Structure 1
Amino acid sequence: MHDQTFFSGGVFSDTIDGGRAGADIELQLDGVHATTSAGERFFLRFSELNVDIGGYNDRMIFCRNADRSVTIFCDDKKFPKSLSELSCGVLDEQLHLKKKKLKAQAWQGRGMFMVASIAMVVGLVALYFGIKVAGAAAVQALPVSVDRQIGERSYDAMNLGRKEIHDATVVDAIQQMVDRLSPHAALQGLEFEVHVIDSEEVNAFALPGGIIVVYTGLIEVAERPEQVAGVIAHEISHATLRHGLQRVSQSLGLTAAAGLLLGDVQGLFVLATELFQLATINSYSRGQETAADTEGVRMLHAAGIDPLSLAEFFEIMKKEGPELPDGLGWISTHPEHEARIMNVRSQLATLAPQEYKGFDIDWDDVKSRIEK
């Protein structure tokens, strides 16, 4: 007879809307089963399981499959023991290393227990959603250095599965766009870093802190460099408006949110790294996408780059989107093209007159280099 087989926890998976969901976990003799509130089911076999530890207080147990496409997690203190019993010793070696680490940090654990007790008192006074809202506000109040750490950890943990382009002509072209835009960023202190990835996917994204990734598929479909600059301005806006941190704050559990209010950002780092490893980098809300369009147009205008170039790119997507490869990673989660085109044109009509200047870039040469 096993002491406990049912637990509360959650699941990370790119098949879940938003990449994360709470779940009921059941340990059976064949492995770990998880069912979300929406009825989605996940299963990890013990023989194929990788166990890791992290989260708030270093007590969250992460159970992953080999390709990390599914992660089932739980911070119940009885979860490791039940894992050991139900797996018939298969996971003992992995769990032993984690328990050894916890034992070495026992003194810290006792101290954090006191902190957690205080957090529980706070929780009795404030409603659950009050703490969540306060945690989200605390995220927005964090220094920009936290954005950078999250971005670096996430990029290092990503498996983009494609080679990076180091051709100076190609990289310098993208860098020139970023250099024109960066002085007009709404958030100061970001350190922009450019990476160009060899992929047919029409995609680009910016991680918190300013790491910018552009896929060659985006360069190939753009008719002129200003159109790529428009997309980059949109992605930079996600970073300057801290939309990535907002996504992380929405995924914070009650315990991690309370810990953040007490100054502990480790839980934030763990959840952020997990979230940005998923194929949901561009999965922002409709409101965030509209805000990034608006801020992107402002940046383009301030930098002397024609904002209509962004509308032109939407026109290309509207006309050629179904024929483009790999599911249009950049555009697939964004609002409707026609509405975005109208919004760009409407906003542009409200801006002061500006003399726009193009880029000194041989665009045909850039495109020929990525086609080799």
Structure 2
Amino acid sequence: MYHFNILYFDGKFSVTHQATLDLKPDHWIIQYVDQDQNEQIVQWEINGIERDLGFNSLYIFRYGDFPKQTIECKDENLLVSLKKLYPEKAFFRKKIDLLINQNGTVIAGLACALAGLLAVAYFYILPWFAETVADKIPISMETQLGETMYENVISQYNKDDSLTRSVNDFVKEIDFKTDYPVEVTVVKEDKMNAFALPGGHIVVFDKIISKMKTKEELAALLAHEVAHVHYRHSLKSIFRSLSGYLLISLIFNDINGITAVLADNSNMLLNLNYSRNLEKDADEKAVVILQANGLNLKGFADLFSLLKLESKDSETLNLLRTHPLTDDRIKYAKDVAFHQKGIRNNEKLEKKWQEIVDQSK
């Protein structure tokens, strides 16, 4: 009853540890295996433990001096066990309980006014603020956050190491006009999808590669995803969706808290919907990349044609759910391809593409 599975952050590095928590009469015991595969045991004294409030389905506790150690737990039985084991302790009680004995009418009025203000702030101000903050985050921190999200996401897939190496060799032959380190991971999945993570990681499902006919199609797909990275579309959309949780972490300057929230919600990348304006920005940036590299923009139009043709199979085409293919986007791709000049032959890129084709058969 007093043993729980948790996530643990040591307060020194933004690394998530799968850990266990054991509740003792006067302290807590946390056990985990660090990145060097060494078993670690941490002890928290009861009087030094604080609980973060405002999370309905996630129980967060902190300990020690800044930057504090942090644990997260989703098990509702944790609070039940805390009340049973420490009936005189108040660190796990919500502060709102202290107001119950005050004047009920005054509190009710204040609560209604506050609820109205919070609703406006939550639905309008917070999302805008979150996007603004995301745009100010240093690239180094964004890359670190993206790395954490990547580790959580990629563990769910069967990585195709050989195809991943070949596609990254392909990537090296293209100047993507960005300061971000572009790294592609190909996973074995019977769906057509690709998505970009903050900081430069791009995940591509092998099925969409197997459907492509030319190197220009793959270059167009990668250029589009790199554009989302370059303009921080993924980061801004994630911050907007999780603005409430992230704001709390930002207020307390808690980098571990930001990392914890993003890591716990990494799967939302699979269903991250971009607006028409964001897709338009990414398309335009992709065109600039392809033109600068002398690649035929017909590959961009062909990619859209492939997606449209395959869209009848709703079970496999997740890509169009997150990257809606509008008639305007298709027309734009065909127009820029029709008026393109300066196409160059790239034998190295063609060779890399043929290696990919041979492996994806």
Q: How does 1:1-372 map to 2 (within 5 A)?
A: 59=52, 72-73=57-58, 92=81, 128=121, 129-130=124-125, 133-158=128-153, 161-167=156-162, 170-185=163-178, 188=179, 190-254=180-244, 256-257=246-247, 259-260=249-250, 263-278=253-268, 280-323=270-313, 326-347=315-336, 353-358=341-346, 359-361=349-351, 363=353, 366-371=356-361
CA contact (8 A) 1:195 1:213 kept: yes
TM-score w.r.t. length of structure 2: 0.62
CA contact (8 A) 1:315 1:337 kept: no
Q: What CA distance in whole angstroms lies between the structure 2 residues aligned with 1:146 and 1:90?
A: 34
d(CA) in 2 for partners of 1:367 and 1:183? Answer: 22
- 1:139-195: per-residue Cα shift (whole Å, max 9, x none)? 21110012211211111112564321122xx3344123322334512xx2x222221
CA contact (8 A) 1:199 1:217 kept: yes
Distance 1:289 1:173 in 2: 27
Q: Quick one: distance in 2 between partners of 1:361 and 1:95? A: 67
Worse-superposed segment, 303-312 or 215-224 = 303-312
SS in 1 for 2:317: coil
Q: CA deviation at 1:315?
A: 0.8
- Between the aligned partners of 1:181 and 1:222, the Cα distance in structure 2 is 18
State how far apart, in whole Å, the 1-side matches of 2:333 and 2:60 are: 46
When Rg is computed on C-alpha atoms for both structures, the one with the higher figure is 2
Could you tell me how far 1:288 is from its partner in structure 2? 1.4
- C-alpha contact 1:154 1:276 (8 A) present in aligned 2: yes
Partner SS, residue 357 of structure 1: coil
CA deviation string 1:10-66 (max 9, x = no partner): xxxxxxxxxxxxxxxxxxxxxxxxxxxxxxxxxxxxxxxxxxxxxxx9726878xxx
* Structure 1 residue identity aligned to 2:286: G
Shift of 1:220: 0.7
Offset at residue 235 of structure 1 (A): 0.6
| SS of equivalent residue, structure 2 residue 195 | strand
Structure 1 residues 94, 339: CA separation in 2 closer, same or farther (over 3 Å shift)?
farther
Q: Indicate if the aligned counterparts of 2:294 and 2:342 stay in contact, CA closer than 8 A.
A: yes
Q: Please state whether the residue corresponding to 1:194 is helix, strand or coil.
A: strand
Mapped contact 2:195–2:270 kept (Cα < 8 A): no
1:360 and 1:95 mapped to 2: Cα distance? 67
Count of residue pairs brought into register by the alignment: 268
Deviation of the 1:345 alpha carbon: 3.1
**Contact 1:194 / 1:211 at 8 angstroms: preserved in 2?**
yes
List gaps (5 residues or longer) in structure 2. 1-49, 62-73, 93-116
Structure 2 contact 296–337 (Cα < 8 Å) conserved: no
CA distance in 1, matches of 2:290, 2:227: 11
TM-score by length of 1: 0.60
Percent identity, aligned pairs only, is 22
- 1:331 and 1:132, CA in 2 relative to 1: closer, same or farther beyond 3 A? closer
Aligned residue identity for 1:176: D
- Aligned amino acid, residue 302 of structure 2: E
Question: What does the per-residue CA deviation read over 1:211-235, in whole Å, with 9 as the maximum and x for residues that have no partner?
Answer: 1212110111001121011111111
Q: Partner of 1:278: helix, strand, or coil?
A: helix
Partner-residue secondary structure (3-state), 1:361: helix
- Whole-angstrom CA distance in 2 between matches of 1:365 and 1:210: 23
Deviates more, 1:147-156 or 1:327-336: 327-336
**CA RMSD of the aligned region, Å?**
3.9
Q: Distance in 1 between matches of 2:329 and 2:59?
A: 41
Superposed displacement of residue 197, structure 1? 0.8
CA contact (8 A) 2:146 2:201 kept: yes
Moved more, 299-308 or 127-136: 127-136
Contact 1:132 1:257 in 2 (8 A): no
